[in-house]
Structure 1
Amino acid sequence: MTDPAPPPLTTRPAPATATRHATPATDPPAPAAPTQPTVPPTTRPATLSTTRPAALATEPPAPPAAVPAAVPVTSPTPAPSAPPVATRPAAPTPDLPAPAATDPHADPEPDPTTARAPATDQPSAPSAPPAPTPPAPPTADPAALRRELGGFLRAHRERVAPADVGLPGTARRRTSGLRREEVAALSGVSVAWYTWLEQGRVDTSRQVLDAVARTLRLDAAAHRHALALAGFAAFETGPSAPVDHQPMLDGWTTPAALLDPALDLRAWNGPYAALWPDPARVPAARRNLLLLLATDPRHQRVLPDWEPLATDLYRHFRTRADREPPASRSHEVTALLRAERPELDAWWACRSVADFAPRAVTLTAPDGAVRPYEMTLLLTPEPRGGAVLVQTPVGGGPRAPGRT
């Protein structure tokens, strides 16, 4: 018995290889964005139309930035072209008339941008020249006047002894004269206020200044000078009409000379030029009586004891010099005195003022004769006027040389 033949092996057909067909041209897949999140497997996009992409069947459309729309292959949407640049139409150029033929011998046309108005037949009247402005009189600086007043009060405070005002003197006092607190207490003002007054930092009233003047024992001339520095007296700074005093000087038979406020010699008579060195031979810049007495040996030979007279003249000089502006002749004379006689700086720094009082002097004539004279200073009445220095022989003695 033969074995039955084995049943034929049933062969399992090989699974058909799944062939991946290309996506039809009419349904291209949407390109995935590089950062697009993975779409869940439950959602499938609907079949796209050939002309227009279909919306998703089950979900709302994704934002454009996350899910870009698919572009059909058959009719790609062209990229939008840039909008045309809007250009402003050029303004129409007006038709200008053709330039006319010009005559080479004719006058050129005036330029309308630079042409002037036509001149009228009537000539314009010439303008009158401006009237000259008179120069303003010199004025003193208020700050400088306050400083001068402070120095003036300080100088007189140092000259008053405590016993003069009823205060006991002590051996331990280091201040010459009165202390500031003593002057303030006697004048009825605070120490700080009086200190500021001496430093030139404040203005003051006339009542306070009168009280300080009484405390410092100021005489009438010094009191007037302090009031003038404080602004309570009119400054004689206005110009004055020139007055010819030469006939008056020539009428005197004794030496006489006209002095201005700075003690400059302005006029003199014959007897004066015969007794003193002739001022006409002295340069004008140095023709000052105070400067000549202090620096000129010829004047000192005429008046050997010249210092008391120079001191009195300088006190009278300061009654006006302190009120003059810095550019005045008085300040120039003071600078010359300081420069040429520095050893007398204590004189020039002194704040004392006084009206010149008549005084007796002994003068030596050029012939060697010694005669006593009385010197008198006569003030002239005009504003900012000077004074006439008259020298009269004492006891009806002989006249000065040059007159009989």
Structure 2
Amino acid sequence: MNRDPHRHDLGEFLKARRAELDPAAVGLPDGGSRRVAGLRREEVAVLAAISTDYYARLEQGRIQPSPSVLESLARVLRLDDDQRAYLYELAAKDDFRPPRRQPRLKAQPQLQRMLDDMAHTPAFVIGPRTEIVAWNAMGAALITDFGKIPEKQRYYIRLLITDPAMRELYADWEGVTRLAIAQMRMHNANNPGDKQLAALVGELSVQDDQFRKWWGAHNVAVRDTGTKHLRHPVVGDLHLDWNAVTWAADPDLQIIVWTAESGTPTHDSLRMLASWAADPSRSTSGSSA
């Protein structure tokens, strides 16, 4: 029997989420004799008003859950909005998935011009697998000289995992890396059978135990906005807001823009960074087009 390729991931996601739950938080006694973290299968089943056998088959990837069961599980497992969306995406039948075109993942000339016109604002363009496909001089000055990295290796997640300088750059390197992995997980749900993503995950899983552990945790997130603390080797500490803006001409691409509030030390430091980036000996804007 052919099974939905998402069902394995659905089962692993359910296991990971129930392992995170504190029994006391859902009104269950701890008991002190639990052999595994979180809730037992039968406890999730009772709270979701389904049979233990039915829930076990869900975790084993053997059955297709109904919408009402999904809603009950989302409530019991206390899923946030991103996790809920991921749950429903994994549970969707392949027959109802619209065909998706392959991402172009190349920056159009007008996109590169826009980036280059942002002379005082770091920015780069990222794809769903964390491919870096375009950047401006400030983006390269802030993060790394992307142009020196071979195109086929120019993945943000690969830099985070393999480049020691990235661990120094991000004060919360673990949080940044886990967020990037969670965003990749969300793409994986929307794009079953993505061979490029599978190859990247396989490569990094072999290279790095932490990546393998965090990928297996099945955490998910959308790429939207946030704040990061960077320890820049040239201008020092930076507390930057970042926003992900979807490029309408190719929704698979997002522009990551870094800003700081006017009058703050970080805003002044960005001006210093812009002067450094404008050095004629540095030529760091570009794209993979």
Are 1:342 and 2:205 counterparts? Answer: no
Residues 367/203 of structure 1: CA separation in 2 closer, same or farther (3 Å cut) = same
- Residue 91 of structure 2: aligned partner: 230
RMSD over aligned Cα, in angstroms?
Answer: 2.5
Once residues 166 and 80 of structure 2 are traced to their aligned partners in structure 1, the CA distance between those partners, rounded to angstroms, is: 32
Letter paired with 2:245: L
- Residue 162 of structure 1: aligned partner: 23
- Residue 115 of structure 2: aligned partner: 249
Residues 152/164 of structure 1: CA separation in 2 closer, same or farther (3 Å cut) = same
Task: Choose which of 344, 355, 361 in structure 1 pairs with 2:228.
Answer: 361
- Residue 193 of structure 1: aligned partner: 54
Moved more, 262-271 or 336-345: 336-345
Letter paired with 2:196: R
Cα distance per residue 1:270-305 (max 9 Å; x no partner): 111222221111012210011101111233333353
- Residue 143 of structure 1: aligned partner: 4
Once residues 235 and 333 of structure 1 are traced to their aligned partners in structure 2, the CA distance between those partners, rounded to angstroms, is: 25
Unaligned runs of 5+ in 1: 1-140
Once residues 176 and 381 of structure 1 are traced to their aligned partners in structure 2, the CA distance between those partners, rounded to angstroms, is: 44
Letter paired with 2:269: P
Shift of 1:368: 5.1
- Residue 269 of structure 2: aligned partner: 398
Letter paired with 1:271: M
Question: How many residue pairs were aligned?
Answer: 264
- Residue 324 of structure 1: aligned partner: 191
Cα distance per residue 1:94-136 (max 9 Å; x no partner): xxxxxxxxxxxxxxxxxxxxxxxxxxxxxxxxxxxxxxxxxxx
Letter paired with 1:237: R
Residues 338/262 of structure 1: CA separation in 2 closer, same or farther (3 Å cut) = same
Task: Choose which of 147, 153, 164 in structure 2 pairs with 1:297.
Answer: 164
Structure 2 SS opposite 1:262: coil
Structure 2 SS opposite 1:217: coil
Unaligned runs of 5+ in 2: 280-289
Once residues 33 and 181 of structure 2 are traced to their aligned partners in structure 1, the CA distance between those partners, rounded to angstroms, is: 34
Residues 383/185 of structure 1: CA separation in 2 closer, same or farther (3 Å cut) = farther
Once residues 370 and 181 of structure 1 are traced to their aligned partners in structure 2, the CA distance between those partners, rounded to angstroms, is: 49
Equivalences for 1:3-402 in 2 at 5 Å? 142-231=3-92, 234=97, 237-239=100-102, 244=108, 245-252=111-118, 253-356=120-223, 358-367=225-234, 369-381=236-248, 385-394=252-261, 395=264, 396-399=267-270, 400-401=273-274, 402=277
Residues 174/364 of structure 1: CA separation in 2 closer, same or farther (3 Å cut) = closer
Once residues 140 and 71 of structure 2 are traced to their aligned partners in structure 1, the CA distance between those partners, rounded to angstroms, is: 45
The share of aligned pairs that are identical, in percent, is 30
- Residue 4 of structure 1: aligned partner: none
Once residues 165 and 216 of structure 2 are traced to their aligned partners in structure 1, the CA distance between those partners, rounded to angstroms, is: 26
1:361–1:375: 8 Å Cα contact kept in structure 2? yes
Bigger helix share: 2
Structure 2 SS opposite 1:258: strand
Structure 2 SS opposite 1:362: strand
Shift of 1:164: 1.8
Once residues 255 and 236 of structure 1 are traced to their aligned partners in structure 2, the CA distance between those partners, rounded to angstroms, is: 35
Shift of 1:205: 1.1
Structure 2 SS opposite 1:398: helix
1:275–1:366: 8 Å Cα contact kept in structure 2? no
1:246–1:268: 8 Å Cα contact kept in structure 2? yes
1:238–1:384: 8 Å Cα contact kept in structure 2? no
> Structure 1 length as normaliser, TM-score?
0.60
Shift of 1:162: 1.3
- Greater relative contact order: 1 or 2 (C-alpha under 8 angstroms, separation 6 or more)? 2
Letter paired with 1:339: V
2:140–2:146: 8 Å Cα contact kept in structure 1? yes
Once residues 278 and 148 of structure 1 are traced to their aligned partners in structure 2, the CA distance between those partners, rounded to angstroms, is: 36
Structure 2 SS opposite 1:188: coil
Once residues 313 and 201 of structure 1 are traced to their aligned partners in structure 2, the CA distance between those partners, rounded to angstroms, is: 30
Cα distance per residue 1:202-240 (max 9 Å; x no partner): 111111111111111011111111111111785672246
Once residues 323 and 347 of structure 1 are traced to their aligned partners in structure 2, the CA distance between those partners, rounded to angstroms, is: 19
1:228–1:234: 8 Å Cα contact kept in structure 2? no
Shift of 1:350: 1.1
Residues 384/196 of structure 1: CA separation in 2 closer, same or farther (3 Å cut) = farther
